[in-house]
Homo-oligomer: A and B are copies of this chain.
Amino acid sequence: MTSQHPSPTIEPLAPWRSPLARAIHRNRALPSARYLQLATLRVDGTPANRSVVFRGFLTGTNRLMFISDRRSEKINQIIHNPATEACWYFTKTREQFRLAGRLWLISADTAPATLQSARVTLWQNISDSARRQFAWPQPKAPRSPNDAFATHTLDLQAPPLCFCLLLLTVHSVDHLDLRAEPQNRHLYQKLENQPPENSQWQTTIVNP
């Protein structure tokens, strides 16, 4: 089986980080530019797909961060099979990034300490309204009365047990630029059997 957490090694910047940073910057006026769609596998083997909010990169790495509630269905899906592809479409610049890789679940009992401290820092940095959702009643259960969603005081220092950090380690990226005539498409492929600290990428320019 696979290990419980990714290596904490510092990685060199992957070549797709620069075009992705440019797209994030150029689309920054739209709050929805930080939403992307994350495909996973249900336990029955069919695809699942939902929007998640990009929470930045884990410091010193090419790993994207998301947050999730331990009670949401995607957590069991990821434990069962961590394969994923994220699709990130930027409406203003008409660019699509497809990021294929694997997800890592960082929960209250995950070592090492660097990942745990990333989880706690993220908890402290999200908005009050994002934090409050982790005190809401069981997701997807029959609707609770409105007062079950009343504001709770949540400890800023200690995230609740159900607050999880998800890390996406990327092994290939498909960047499609729809504005160009004809469109431009770049593929980035991580070369296998490379240690993370000197991981290498192959970049190919292909037909759209």
Contact = CB atoms under 8 A, between A and B. Distances in A.
Interface of A: 30, 32, 35, 37-41, 45-51, 83-87, 89, 91, 96, 98, 100, 133, 136-144, 146, 149, 182, 185, 187, 204-208
- Please classify the interface of chain A as helix (H, G, I), strand (E, B), loop, or mixed, using the class held by over half of its residues: strand
Nearest to A143: B205
Contacts of A30: 91
9 contacts: A37-B37, A37-B39, A39-B39, A46-B100, A48-B85, A48-B100, A136-B182, A139-B206, A143-B205
A14 to B, nearest CB: 19
A89 B89 CA distance: 11
B136 A207 contact: yes
Given A39-B39, A89-B32, A187 B50 contact: no
A149 B136 CA distance: 53
